[in-house]
Amino acid sequence: MLGLSKYRYKATEAQIKSAHRRKVLKHHPDKRAALGATEDDSFFKCIGKATEVLSDPVRRRQFDSVDEAADVEPPSKKDSKSGNFFKLWSPVFASEGRFSNKQPVPKLGNDKSTKKDVEDFYEFWFNFDSWRTFEYMDEDVPDDNEHRHQRRAMEKKNMNARKKRKTEDIARLRSLVDTALSLDERIKKFRQQEQEQKHKKRNELAAEAKRVAEEQAKAKEEEAKKAKEAEEAAKADKDSAKKAKEAAKNATKKNKRVVRNAAKDANYFHTAGGDVPPKQIDAALNDVDALLAKIDPEDLAALVEKLNVADAKDAGKVQAAFKEEVTRLTGEGKLTETDVKSLRA
């Protein structure tokens, strides 16, 4: 009507005024009459009506809400997959963005957009706050009192029709956004990256768990090995100590036999000649047993060494060695004078 079709909802107030002025100059009834035209002034009235609508912010918004010529048709799925996704869908969202109460409207972006930018873009559209209304499509309402009941019914009908159109428009926009989301290769790329990150993290956790398990198993094995070695060492020490104790015990028994045999070879310390009286034998053996009961294994070994040095057939030397040991034990308090009789110094 005003020649602003290429601008549609983007037409400025100045452009509307300029277009109105041009149309008025061309189609004014006086102008047409001067040129010999005979048609009525209905077209001129339409020019005025169009300018009146577009100059009123409220009525213009109502008109822009249903101006289908300003809409951009969404591309097909086939076209969207041809590599022109951003080129084809950007105008669609730009067209739909004219209805947003929130400005500026985020752009679709491109294949270099960050994950956050893409998420923010779709978050905006899934929560789109639209100012779009549908009053311009209302049916005419009688304005006379005679038809007031009809007017009320028509107003109610128009209100319900607006709500329905609003609901349908919200569903249409949501379907459009869902379609774009399903065709957006960036979403697939981000999901794949997330899966790769999760897989990588799972592998790292599995590897770490395996490493810890191996270390624990190795430590447990090492601990068991050390425990076994310690047990074997303790057993070996015990066996060695047992053998040493047994050897010392055997050595002590042997040394005691040597000492007793020495007393016997020394004729039980009898120096008077002839056969040894039984009483002397008992006394000598009792004294030797008393000495052996008090002497330490080390001192016993030293005594045996002295006896081996002494002439076993020389009763005097053997008796002297015994008396020397009795004197030492008595001095240390291990023997008393009553413990021995024949070996007193």
pLDDT tens profile 175-192: 999 999 999 999 999 999
> What is the full DSSP assignment across 4-44?
-TTTGGG--HHHHHHHHHHHHHHH-HHHHHHTT----SHHH
pLDDT mean across residues, the chain:
87
Across 64-68, 94-98, 289-293, 294-298, least confident range: 64-68
pTM here?
0.56
- Assigned domain for 289 exists: yes
User: How much is the average pLDDT of 163-181?
Assistant: 95
Into how many domains does the chain fold?
Answer: 2
More confident residue, 208 or 343: 208
Asked whether the predicted pLDDT for residue 32 surpasses 70, the reply is no
- Assigned domain for 15 exists: no
- Assigned domain for 10 exists: no
- Assigned domain for 128 exists: yes
Structure confidence at residue 37 (pLDDT): 59
Across 6-10, 121-125, 306-310, least confident range: 6-10
pLDDT-derived band of residue 106, with 50, 70 and 90 as boundaries?
A: very high
Among 166, 183, 200, the domain-final residue is 183
- Assigned domain for 131 exists: yes
Among 135, 153, 183, the domain-final residue is 183
User: How much is the average pLDDT of 282-310?
Assistant: 89
> What is the full DSSP assignment across 163-179?
HHHHHHHHHHHHHHHHH
User: How much is the average pLDDT of 214-222?
Assistant: 95
Structure confidence at residue 38 (pLDDT): 56
- Assigned domain for 40 exists: no
Q: Which of 87, 102, 88, 92 is nearest to 172 (CA)?
A: 92
127-131, long-range: CB < 8 A, 24+ apart: 128/96, 128/100, 128/173, 128/177, 129/100, 129/101, 129/102, 130/99, 130/100, 130/101, 130/169, 130/170, 130/173, 131/61, 131/99, 131/100, 131/101
- Asked if residue 132 lies in contact with residue 99, where contact means CB atoms within 8 angstroms, the answer is yes
Structure confidence at residue 284 (pLDDT): 86
Do 61 and 160 belong to one domain?
Answer: yes
Model confidence over 118-146: pLDDT tens digits? 999 999 999 999 999 988 888 887 776 66
Cα–Cα distance for residue pair 33/35, rounded to 1 Å: 5
> CA 105 from chain center: how many Å?
38
User: How much is the average pLDDT of 88-116?
Assistant: 95
- Asked if residue 42 lies in contact with residue 27, where contact means CB atoms within 8 angstroms, the answer is no
More confident residue, 82 or 207: 207
Q: Which alpha helices (H) appear in 28-84, and where do they start and end?
A: 29-34, 42-55, 57-65, 77-80
Among 154, 183, 212, the domain-final residue is 183
- Assigned domain for 336 exists: no
Domain that holds residue 129: 56-183
User: How much is the average pLDDT of 289-313?
Assistant: 85
Model confidence over 242-270: pLDDT tens digits? 998 899 899 999 999 999 988 888 888 87
- Asked if residue 268 lies in contact with residue 284, where contact means CB atoms within 8 angstroms, the answer is yes
Asked whether the predicted pLDDT for residue 281 surpasses 70, the reply is yes
- Assigned domain for 202 exists: no
CATH of the domain at 279: 1.10.8.840
First to last CA, the chain: 156
pLDDT-derived band of residue 229, with 50, 70 and 90 as boundaries?
A: very high
